[in-house]
Structure 1
Amino acid sequence: MAKDQSRRTLLKNLGIGAGLLAIPSFSNASGFDIAINNRQDSTSKINHSVCRWCFADIPLKEFAKACRELGISAIDLLKPSEWEIVQEEGLACSMATDDFISLTDGFNDPENHQKLQTSYRELIDKAADNNIENVICFSGSRRGMDNETGWNNCVEGLMPLLDHAQSRKVTLVMELLNSKVNHPDYMADHTSWGAELARRLDRPNFKLLYDIYHMQIMEGDVIRNIREFHPYINHYHTAGNPGRNEINNSQELNYPAIIQAILDTGFNGYIAQEFIPTYDNKLKALEEAIGICTL
């Protein structure tokens, strides 16, 4: 996402040629609890998505085709130059981003407001013109700022954009990230912080991106927090903890129970895989994750 250092470092390390990776056939895939045909069943309760940056070494067009075979209907965190590529393959962009978006320099600092409001307004219009409903945003780093100042500054910076975004039927979605392991000093690092900002904004087109991995690190009690704060959440990300890798039984989170809890709230948005695959066959890891999250 944007200027997320760990993600940018990974993308740089994965910067290999587009032709080096062969996309395997999924018709012979085996070794998982749920078959692909079941995952592609039209009765699936989950709107599956996946974050592009985790699979950046796979050419986007080929990745989109593979995702479609796996029953994934959208790809997360795409820039405007990438939207048409996935749309041509019948997939949606479930969360828009762009190069100007920063994790550290966000809406909690008034010095960023003018630049962000100009750039976000353009991105909102581009997203609306391409039938993309969600655009990501970030609080920014705390830098010694108290919560009250952070909330007030975010309200001041976001409110004019929310007026415009509402007229274009676009939702601004602030991601909750951990400040303990991956993003030191990030301000929106607890669900309650994001929910309080949402209450103060009181706009239907401001929501939270609840990242299960990040919130497990910061506060745990994942299912209880999903139940309590679900009115403010319109998007989820997954990854295993510790390590931010596959979501199978090699890590501590019980994803089937978490996905059921999400569904029990009436959620009908996207659940996007955002784990860093360790398998040699990265698409096999994605196949496994979709199976785990399909109820």
Structure 2
Amino acid sequence: MSSNLSRRSVIKNIVAGAVALNIPLGFSAMANSNEENMEILKGNINHSVCRWCFSSIDLETLCIEAKKIGISAIDLVGPNDWPILKKHGLMSAMCSGAEINLVDGFNDPQFHETLIKNYTEMIPLVAKAGYKNLICFSGNKRGKTDEEGWNNCVKGLQALIPLAQKHNVVLVMELLNSKIDHKDYQCDTTKWGVELAKRLNSEHFKLLYDIYHMQIDEGDVIRTIRENHKYIAHYHTAGVPGRNEIDENQELNYPAIMKAIVQTGFTGYVAQEFIPKNPNKIDSLRKAIAICNI
């Protein structure tokens, strides 16, 4: 606490000195923005961050630093870590822990028994903790056609939709690229995911639109979001190419993408899922939130 007071005192002295000397307050405001970032966020985006990208930082520290920046949730943590989030007043914007892995998913009946058991146990836990979104995956094709994948996913997920509805939980399938990072993954385009959502026809099944992944596999990000936003429950970010910081060194225009998301009326979370190249990982996270603060 004493260090926080010291920083605040320094900032106040800088401001006072600048006023006395008639110096523009740009530097002071910039210094203050780091300390009071939460207060200057515009509030149009609910910010989260994916735990695994910052795994070198212990969760307690990540929670503390995230709150300073104005982040209100952590993505992809399970029940064992929820108490730490609650301690710091953070949400679990996208819960995990029921999936087998990324490749063995709902598109293959041989995994249905395990998946249904896992999700049947996890859905009530998510609800009891006060959370809503629970991630799931299609799995790899392994020679299956689109139609086979859709039919198998519908069969497996329909067994869980009534329970999800009872507990007001949303099963959220992530869109992953199959070109670079997840070879053979079936739910690798918005079109495929939306068709599955239409067949399930439930508000308790939605998509996780990963901007990084979909830029790689299909592009046309803003128009795709505008046309399919009602099927999307959550967004992830990262720079393309490389999956690193979302700054000017990569090809996506994140401020424009954030504006498009807001214009759809979206009230969920956008989670940073980039892998920091900067040794000061928290500084990269702070800058990413500033970029998305539209």
- CA offsets, 1:131-175, max 9 Å, x none? 110000000000111001110100000011111011001000000
Is 1:248 the equivalent of 2:244? no
- CA offsets, 1:200-243, max 9 Å, x none? 00001100000000000000000010001101001000000000
Secondary structure (helix, strand or coil) at the match of 1:58 reads coil
Distance 1:65 1:152, change over 3 A: same
Where do residues 96-245 of structure 1 align in structure 2 (5 Å cutoff)?
96-98=95-97, 100-245=99-244
Q: CA deviation at 1:101?
A: 2.9
Which consecutive unaligned segments of at least 5 residues does structure 1 have? 1-24
Distance 1:42 1:136, change over 3 A: same
Higher-helix-fraction structure: 2
Greater Rg by CA: 2
Q: Which residue of 2 aligns with 1:35?
A: 33
- CA distance in structure 2 between the partners assigned to 1:148 and 1:196 by the alignment: 10
Paired residue type of 1:35: S
- CA offsets, 1:37-57, max 9 Å, x none? 355336411100000000011
Is 1:60 the equivalent of 2:59? yes
- CA offsets, 1:64-112, max 9 Å, x none? 0110000000000001100110111010111111175311000000111
How many residues get paired?
Answer: 271
Question: TM-score, normalising length from structure 2?
Answer: 0.88
Is 1:287 the equivalent of 2:286? yes
Secondary structure (helix, strand or coil) at the match of 1:80 reads coil
- CA distance in structure 2 between the partners assigned to 1:26 and 1:280 by the alignment: 23
Q: Does the 8 Å contact 1:177/1:215 carry over to 2?
A: yes
Distance 1:32 1:286, change over 3 A: farther
Q: Does the 8 Å contact 2:38/2:67 carry over to 1?
A: no
Question: TM-score, normalising length from structure 1?
Answer: 0.88
Paired residue type of 2:33: A
Q: Which residue of 2 aligns with 1:13?
A: none
- CA distance in structure 1 between the partners assigned to 2:147 and 2:32 by the alignment: 47
CA RMSD of aligned residues (A): 2.1
Is 1:257 the equivalent of 2:256? yes
- CA distance in structure 1 between the partners assigned to 2:228 and 2:100 by the alignment: 25
- CA distance in structure 1 between the partners assigned to 2:31 and 2:154 by the alignment: 46
Which consecutive unaligned segments of at least 5 residues does structure 2 have? 1-5, 12-26
Q: Does the 8 Å contact 1:39/1:291 carry over to 2?
A: no
- CA distance in structure 2 between the partners assigned to 1:26 and 1:248 by the alignment: 27
Distance 1:32 1:104, change over 3 A: farther
- CA distance in structure 1 between the partners assigned to 2:274 and 2:162 by the alignment: 34
- CA distance in structure 1 between the partners assigned to 2:7 and 2:137 by the alignment: 37
Q: CA deviation at 1:125?
A: 1.2
Distance 1:281 1:232, change over 3 A: same
- CA distance in structure 1 between the partners assigned to 2:208 and 2:87 by the alignment: 26
Distance 1:35 1:280, change over 3 A: same
Identity of matched residues, %: 54
Q: CA deviation at 1:35?
A: 2.8
Distance 1:255 1:32, change over 3 A: farther
Q: Which residue of 1 aligns with 2:16?
A: none
